[in-house]
Structure 1
């Protein structure tokens, strides 16, 4: 892996055996098949591999980040969750959590490891917003070497506070209602009820001690109005740091929730962090 190549096209001629490729994937999850793709750098490998979790519902899918990491010499797996963007089944946050686990299983399957030249000792999770929530939910998996959570949105916390705060409930209803177009088998009421029912179980703050033991970079946007730092970042970091400050790092960026003005900087930070862990 070489993060200095993040914005340099590889010098590989057409027809070369070691040519960057994109492979369509179907990943079994529940009774459905997730739609995904594996971006490969064209190296002989085995290559470090990133699983990239997009947010809710996925208008910002961070494919620019996937391409940037691929140029550094990583495999990058991208996919859509059940009930989203044409994937069969019903969308739910519980299904998203299960989908994430099934994708991790997929990447560690012997056949898949061989097919895509995956370095099983260097598998990383990277996720934005809901994807950041999924990253922090699954980063304790021993098969994961390190993780990057970009503006993780804590749906467990959201469910808990919607129970007692009418303004947060109104905000949740508006957010979920506006996200329904690419989703199937759900509605705003069902999503609110789900987050309320599973709030305590999912809340990231409750996992702080476990998280403190993992290699994680948490990136937050100073101008985030979707997942305000005072709710989704600062309390979580404070709780994690009660246990340890050695493993979990944080970086604040002058950007909005989608990092619309800092996409290049975001790519550099993610690539350099993964490289630092890879070279340990």
Structure 2
């Protein structure tokens, strides 16, 4: 039987270079960010997947991280400024810089035997706002060629709706009000106003031509009420196809925003896609 990282444990144990899971910390704009690093078995170096959570970050997608590690990828997960023990104030405006700090952490640790990272092979993968951050950051980085978005936000497009529709704005305030109390020095209104303030530069449709040059895996959720397909997924897919994206793979799973009922299917899709990554 062939080894399947989605459902099989590794057959062999490498006593010299075993799989590991270690705490890490690095700085972004003077704040200490906390993370977890999954190291794949074997001397390596191994490609690195930076796996970004959404808001407020209670779903870390560790189940996916274990799958990717069994498949031979290192995985870095971390908490943005102002959430889950990381220093600083929480802001969606921080996401690109915090992601950049994570990439720099990997690159600056070239040769670190604990990390065993191939710093020239970094993949971005994100859920919800993490999906937005992954796609947005890749637009401005030639070195990032492979991006995964799971129920990703189009932050600028949603900001447009918030600006013109007071009912949607008020409903959104109620929806994220409790989550905003979990992170540091943020409010529901303040976070939503950030989306309005960045209508132009955070609308992913604006960057379709750039994104169409990437190897993209974009996964939506049919019953998603947090990032509805009609706002965040379908327009982006249509725009990417219109701009000639040749390395675009799209899936829509029959589940809600967190993929709670489709974790195995989600892992299978991503695992299969990872075998086709190009660097």
Name the CA distance, whole Å, in 2 between partners of 1:31 and 1:163.
Answer: 33
- 2:158 is aligned to 158
- 2:44 is aligned to 45
Helix, strand or coil at the partner of 1:276: coil
- 1:233 is aligned to 233
- 1:129 is aligned to 128
Helix, strand or coil at the partner of 1:66: helix
How far the C-alpha of 1:10 sits from its partner, in A, is 2.3
The question of whether the paired residues in 1 share the 8 Å contact of 2:110 and 2:117 is answered with: no
Helix, strand or coil at the partner of 2:174: helix
1:44-63 to structure 2, matched below 5 A, reads 44-63=43-62
Helix, strand or coil at the partner of 2:27: strand
1:119-268 to structure 2, matched below 5 A, reads 119-140=118-139, 141-268=141-268
- 1:16 is aligned to 15
Structure 1 residues 44-75: Cα deviation after superposition (integer angstroms, max 9, x where no partner): 10111100000111122111111111111110
Name the CA distance, whole Å, in 2 between partners of 1:6 and 1:241.
Answer: 30
Gaps in structure 1 of 5+ consecutive residues? none
Q: TM-score, normalised by structure 1?
A: 0.93
How far the C-alpha of 1:120 sits from its partner, in A, is 2.7
Name the CA distance, whole Å, in 1 between partners of 2:245 and 2:192.
Answer: 34
Q: TM-score, normalised by structure 2?
A: 0.93
Name the CA distance, whole Å, in 1 between partners of 2:112 and 2:219.
Answer: 29
Name the CA distance, whole Å, in 2 between partners of 1:222 and 1:213.
Answer: 26
Name the CA distance, whole Å, in 2 between partners of 1:207 and 1:171.
Answer: 28
Gaps in structure 2 of 5+ consecutive residues? none
Q: How many residues align?
A: 277
How far the C-alpha of 1:204 sits from its partner, in A, is 0.9
1:25-40 to structure 2, matched below 5 A, reads 25-40=24-39
Q: For the aligned residues, what is the CA RMSD?
A: 1.9
How far the C-alpha of 1:251 sits from its partner, in A, is 1.1
Name the CA distance, whole Å, in 2 between partners of 1:113 and 1:161.
Answer: 46
